[in-house]
Amino acid sequence: MEQNVANATLSVARPQWDRNRLEARIVHLGCGAFHRAHQALYTHHLLETTDSDWGYCEVNLMPGNDARLIQALKDQNMLYTVAERGAGSTELKVIGSMKEALHPEFDGCDGILNAMARPETAIVSLTVTEKGYCIDAASGKLDLNNSMVQHDLANPHQPKSAIGYIIEALAIRREHGLNGFTVMSCDNLRENGHAARAAVLGLAEARCPALAAWIAEQVTFPCTMVDRIVPAATDEALQQIADQLGVYDPCAIACEPFRQWVIEDNFVNGRPDWDRVGAQFVADVVPFEMMKLRMLNGSHSFLAYLGYLAGYETIADTMTNPAYRNAARALMLNEQAPTLSMPEGTDLVGYADLLIDRFTNPSLRHRTWQIAMDGSQKLPQRMLDPVRIHLKNGDDFRHLTLGVAGWMRYVSGVDEQGNAIDIQDPLAARYQEIHRQHQAPEARVRALLDIDAIFGQDLPGNAQFVSAVTAAYLALLSNGARATVEALG
Ligand code: NAI
Ligand code: CS2
């Protein structure tokens, strides 16, 4: 028999509790890097320390590697390894919270819908990336022109999008006289629960208003703030884990030791007591989400675009340059923190210092290129919402301006050495077209600002913003990213 994490001799213990007690009461859509190192790990710790029976049915909807991962989980009895890597040491954990794993390629669309429509399914959670919600990032509304949305409206019983699956599963539950479930987004969207609600109700409304009304009554959409830096697995990272674990685990994932999860306590069908293993249930998550999206993710994107352009491969590499380190901290404290309304006693300086420390962790190797992906989906909540606040208040926001200009320079598709950049973004073709059509830098900036799914209707018409971004873009072209960040002082 082939050796795998389920049957080989390992350097760490497999789960000690009886895994037969697991009930797949949570269907998770998007079994990617993050979910394996975050929600599935919290749930594992709960199983380990209490008599909880909450387990996962994992679902991936995308082809290729995401399908292979589901097959590999099936092959190794749903066990896999998480490597928590600090600056000096690594802790391995074999995670046992998954009960089953499904993919349309192996289980069919119906297999997945059946799992979601089972009476015992109480929660459907999601980490399907920002673009998985098919919403217009600037307005937060469902994008009815999205090709997945159009497919799902034409083929409601054979959906392709995560939102389409949720609606069809809820339609089946309604038909069978069952109740709804909780839809819990764990993606980095502003007010992610409200975004999930807007997407689900938007599509349901377009399909059948009576179903939409039933969903509005039967389903809750708690917001969550989720945090743990989990870079995509590389061959090198998997090999390092194999060397320490004693067997190769294709589903293994490395992450930082830090983790945080703040959840709005709004579940219609019960929930695991994740607060017993470090999560926090609160009445209002939004301030924590905003803090994390602006201070952590905003500075991550800043470092990603300007770091990549300067030739830094990872976030930790950018942090070796004191100018980048200072710029990230100044962005967090001078331009993001003042836009937040936090509960009394929140220590934003301490939070910024912790983030700088986390970004410096040299063993993570989180690629600037990875964070630079999907900028069209990330910029609005990470940088542009705060820009709007500064424009209104008349405050300085030069780091944010440079971050936006850095994104513009990055999506030109050619780096400072003249090499092609592999742009991964749903709007990549549009960027290419803009750069083909417009040679003059000012015209390129203008054309990018005219993408209203990113910048809305207001920002392109704001002369102060347009001239600040144009000046920063020109500085990047003349002096390069490194010198421009160093000149921030
Ligand atoms: P990943 O690339 O490893 O996984 C992405 C998952 O989303 C895969 O399961 C894929 O099948 C699914 N997916 C992608 N596009 C989809 C679509 N259009 N429809 C349905 N499913 C789709 O990425 P990772 O690292 O797991 O991150 C996923 C999301 O989790 C991020 O976009 C972010 O919102 C959130 N997150 C990630 C953190 C990290 O450090 N990796 C930390 C905090 C949140
Ligand atoms: C990153 C995030 O890839 C990105 O865009 O900024 O995934 C970041 O690592 C997490 O949000 C940390 O919790």
Say which residue the tokens 């998480």 belong to: 82
The pLDDT, as a whole number, for residue 489 is: 81
Which of 131, 224, 295, 296 to mutate to test ligand 2, by most ligand atoms within 8 A of the CB atom?
296
- Tell me, using a 6 A CB cutoff, whether residue 188 lines ligand 1: yes
Q: Which percentage of the chain shows pLDDT scores above 90?
A: 98
The pLDDT, as a whole number, for residue 137 is: 78
Per-residue pLDDT, averaged over 425-445, amounts to 97
Per-residue pLDDT, averaged over 34-41, amounts to 98
Which of 127, 260, 297 to mutate to test ligand 1, by most ligand atoms within 8 A of the CB atom?
127
- The whole-angstrom separation of Cα 242 and Cα 465 is 50
SS (H, E, C) the chain: CCCCCCCCCCCCCCCCCCHHHCEEEEEEECCCHHHHHCHHHHHHHHHHHCCCCEEEEEECCCCCHHHHHHHHHHHCCCCEEEEEECCCCEEEEEECCEEEEECHHHHHHHHHHHHHHCCCCCEEEECCCHHHHCECCCCCCECCCCHHHHHHHHCCCCCCCHHHHHHHHHHHHHHCCCCCCEEEECCCCCCHHHHHHHHHHHHHHHHCHHHHHHHHHHCECCCEEEECCCCCCCHHHHHHHHHHHCCCCCCCEEECCCCEEEEECCCCCCCCCHHHHCCEEECCCHHHHHHHHHHHHHHHHHHHHHHHHCCCCEHHHHCCCHHHHHHHHHHHHHHHHHHCCCCCCCCHHHHHHHHHHHHHCCCCCCEHHHHHCCHHHHHHHHHHHHHHHHHHHCCCCHHHHHHHHHHHHHCCCECCCCCECCCCCCCHHHHHHHHHHCCCHHHHHHHHHCCHHHHCCCHHHCHHHHHHHHHHHHHHHHHHHHHHHHCCC
What are the backbone dihedrals phi and psi of residue 74, each rounded to the nearest 5 degrees, phi first?
A: -60, -40
pLDDT at 244 over 90: yes
Confidence tier at 398 by pLDDT (50, 70, 90): very high
Count the neighbouring beta carbons within 10 Å of the beta carbon of residue 450.
Answer: 12
- Tell me, using a 6 A CB cutoff, whether residue 4 lines ligand 1: no
- Tell me, using a 6 A CB cutoff, whether residue 28 lines ligand 1: no
The pLDDT, as a whole number, for residue 2 is: 87
Bridge partner list, 254: 83
Instruction: Give the model confidence (pLDDT) of 320-375 as tens digits.
Output: 999 999 999 999 999 999 999 999 999 999 999 999 999 999 999 999 999 999 99
| Ligand 1 atom nearest 31 alpha carbon | 9
Per-residue pLDDT, averaged over 301-307, amounts to 98
Confidence tier at 237 by pLDDT (50, 70, 90): very high
Which of 297, 303, 383 to mutate to test ligand 2, by most ligand atoms within 8 A of the CB atom?
297
Confidence tier at 126 by pLDDT (50, 70, 90): very high
Q: What is the CA(210)–ligand 2 centre distance, in A?
A: 37
Q: What is the CA(126)–ligand 1 centre distance, in A?
A: 9
Per-residue pLDDT, averaged over 388-392, amounts to 98
Q: What is the CA(328)–ligand 1 centre distance, in A?
A: 24
- Tell me, using a 6 A CB cutoff, whether residue 228 lines ligand 1: yes
- The whole-angstrom separation of Cα 470 and Cα 444 is 9
The pLDDT, as a whole number, for residue 136 is: 87
Confidence tier at 46 by pLDDT (50, 70, 90): very high
- Tell me, using a 6 A CB cutoff, whether residue 226 lines ligand 1: yes
> Is the CB of residue 58 less than 8 Å from the CB of residue 28?
yes
pLDDT at 125 over 80: yes
pLDDT at 138 over 80: no
Say which residue the tokens 């300085």 belong to: 396
Bridge partner list, 54: 23
| Ligand 1 atom nearest 374 alpha carbon | 32
Q: What is the CA(169)–ligand 2 centre distance, in A?
A: 30
In this structure, what token pair is assigned to residue 386? 């705060």
Per-residue pLDDT, averaged over 277-291, amounts to 97
The pLDDT, as a whole number, for residue 248 is: 98
The pLDDT, as a whole number, for residue 68 is: 98
Ligand nearest to the CA of 297: 2
The structural domains of the chain, ordered by start, are 19-282 (3.40.50.720), 286-486 (1.10.1040.10)
Per-residue pLDDT, averaged over 455-480, amounts to 98
Ligand 2 pocket (Cβ < 6 Å) reads: 188, 227-229, 296-297, 300, 370-371, 378
The pLDDT, as a whole number, for residue 1 is: 72
Confidence tier at 452 by pLDDT (50, 70, 90): very high
The pLDDT, as a whole number, for residue 87 is: 86
How high does pLDDT run on average in the chain? 97
